[in-house]
Structure formats: C-alpha cells, structure tokens
C-alpha cells in the first residue's frame, strides 16, 4: 500500500503571515493524522520561513504515525534530526534562493558528501532517503552512498502530465525499477495533486510513500482538510 505523508509547510506559512498561532500547527498535525494520513513531512529551511526548528521539536511530541524531516544537510539541520530522531530523513539539495525544491541530487558529484551524512543518520537508526531526479544511471551511486530510499522529484512529471505528454512517466518508471533491482525503496513527491496522483501510482504501484503539501492544502481550501485527505487515500489505494 502506498502511504500518504502530509507536508505541513504551507500551514506554517499561513501562520507566519500574521504571527501568533493561527492556524495552530500542532492541532493540524494531530488532525491530519486522525483523518487517516500515514505520516507527516516537515521541511525546515535555514531561513525558517515556514516550518521553524522549534516547530519540529514541538510536533515530534504529537506524532503517532511517522515523521519525515527533509532538508539540506547543513550542520544545523543534522544536529536537529539527530536530536529529534524522526522515522525518516530525506536529504534535499536546496539552495538559499529557491522558493521551493526544484531538483534532486547528483549522487555522482556529491557521492562522498552524501555518504558521510547518511552514515551519521543510519548510526542513529534513522531511515534515509535522498531527493533524486529521474535518471536510472544515478541508482548505482545511490547504492554506494548507502541511502535506504530515493524520493523521486516529480516536478517534471507534473508539468508533462499537465501538457498531456504521457511519456513523461517513462524515466520515472525506469529509475524506480532500477532502484528496486538495487534493493532501494522508492518514494515520490513534489507537485503531486488529486489530478495526477492516480496516474503515477498506476504506472509505479510499488511506490512506498508520497509526500504532498502545497496541492493538498490548496485543494483543502475548497474541499476541507479531512475530505481532501480521504480523497488522496482513495486515489493512492486504487
């Protein structure tokens, strides 16, 4: 079964726009779990423009499902995750000037760097994943790095799907199949929504987890948060 992890960054962005504690991030974290999601994703960026480091510590105490923390592995980030010990850490190559994650790692160029970070995480018993563009040639290097999973960056897929270019899924299928052959599990995330998620899961049914935030929260403005989560669960389980 594909698991749904709800990214709460956009809830934090809305709260931060006015200061104070509305919406209450901890209450939303409790609610989305009670609505049926399988986990929560948090992405604290260095400038803390949405999820703050304090948020991560606070939310840890209300997690009854799984916690996935993603981000660029700076010294501060590594200290955070080694203290919090989430179920999974997803390493993302964010630059300071990006609005949102827009590419995965090149594990050939960053092989030594990522290997050291992942070693520290695995020594603490944390499942590891790296954000990856769909390229089968990267998989042997992911294996050398020691990551347990990849998270396929699905931004390119989303654009192709919107333009009805159905072959946009092909490099994702090839990369995912090669990962499985190397005993690396597959997650996916970025720009997934209620329109394209079923197509992705149909083509790659062995995806372990999808992490969805921006679209899910946006759709919830019209549909309600509980109804939106239930709609995603129905689509990923078909």
- Residues serving a catalytic function are 43, 70, 190
Is residue 150 within 8 Å of 129, Cβ to Cβ?
yes
CA dihedral angle for residue 232, residue 34, residue 56, residue 157, rounded to 10 degrees? 0
Q: Are strands 149-153 and 127-132 parallel, antiparallel or unpaired?
A: parallel
DSSP 218-237: HHHHHH-HHHHHHHHHHHHT
Of the candidates 58, 4, 71, the residue with the CA atom closest to the CA atom of residue 28: 58
Radius of gyration of the chain (CA): 17
C-alpha span between 167 and 234 (Å, rounded): 24
Residue 75 Cα to chain centre, angstroms: 20
- Do 87 and 67 contact (CB within 8 A), yes or no? yes
3-state SS assignment for residue 153: strand
């Amino acid at each position: 079964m594909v698991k749904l992890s709800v990214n709460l960054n956009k809830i934090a962005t809305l709260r931060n726009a006015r200061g104070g504690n509305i919406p209450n991030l901890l209450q939303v974290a409790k609610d989305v779990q009670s609505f049926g999601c399988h986990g929560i994703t948090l992405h604290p960026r260095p400038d803390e423009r949405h999820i703050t480091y304090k948020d991560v510590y606070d939310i840890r105490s209300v997690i009854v499902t799984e916690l996935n923390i993603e981000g660029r592995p700076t010294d501060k980030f590594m200290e955070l995750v080694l203290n919090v010990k989430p179920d999974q850490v997803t390493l993302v190559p964010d630059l300071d000037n990006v609005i949102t994650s827009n590419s995965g790692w090149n594990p050939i160029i960053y092989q030594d760097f990522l290997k050291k970070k992942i070693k520290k995480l695995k020594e603490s018993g944390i499942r590891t994943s790296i954000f990856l563009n769909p390229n089968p040639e990267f998989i042997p290097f992911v294996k050398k790095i020691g990551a347990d999973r990849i998270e396929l960056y699905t931004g390119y897929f989303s654009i192709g799907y919107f333009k009805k270019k159905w072959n946009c899924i092909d490099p994702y299928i090839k990369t995912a199949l090669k990962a499985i052959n190397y005993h690396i599990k597959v997650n996916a995330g970025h720009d997934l929504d209620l329109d394209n998620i079923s197509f992705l899961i149909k083509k790659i049914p062995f995806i372990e987890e999808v992490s969805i935030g921006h679209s899910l929260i946006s759709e919830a403005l019209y549909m309600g948060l509980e109804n939106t989560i239930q709609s995603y669960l129905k689509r990923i389980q078909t």
